Amino acid sequence: MITMWKRTVELDLRGQVCPASLLLSLKKMNSLREDLSSGTVALRVLTENRESVPTISAAAASMGYAVTVAREDAHYALLVETAGAGKVR
């Protein structure tokens, strides 16, 4: 079994609103598709737009990712990672 360390890619969408923030998140998730699925990469999305949080979360969940939302100061941080967190696929 090969164990790989997870790397976090950050996507800062502060100042953006939907659907731009969603489209940008989707684009990132698409480009990181392999690494996100295999669990080597986690995507951290920062947004100030409250509306974007459930939208991005729902879209990520539909694609099979696990999403955890944290409130940080004036923004939200959404951590998108493989459903089997830390799991090597």
Tell me how far CA of residue 53 lies from CA of 10, 79, 88, in angstroms.
15, 11, 27
- Binding of another protein by 68 (CB under 8 A): no
Q: Which of 4, 20, 85, 88 binds another protein (CB under 8 A)?
A: 20
**C-alpha separations of 85 from 37, 42, 43, 88 in Å:** 10, 9, 12, 9
Is 54 a residue that touches another protein (CB under 8 A)?
yes
58 forms part of the interface with another protein (CB under 8 A): yes
What is the per-residue binding string for another protein in 21-50, x denoting contact by CB under 8 A? Answer: -xxx-xx-xx--x-----------------
Q: Which residues bind another protein (CB under 8 A)?
A: 17-20, 22-24, 26-27, 29-30, 33, 51, 54-55, 58-59, 62-64
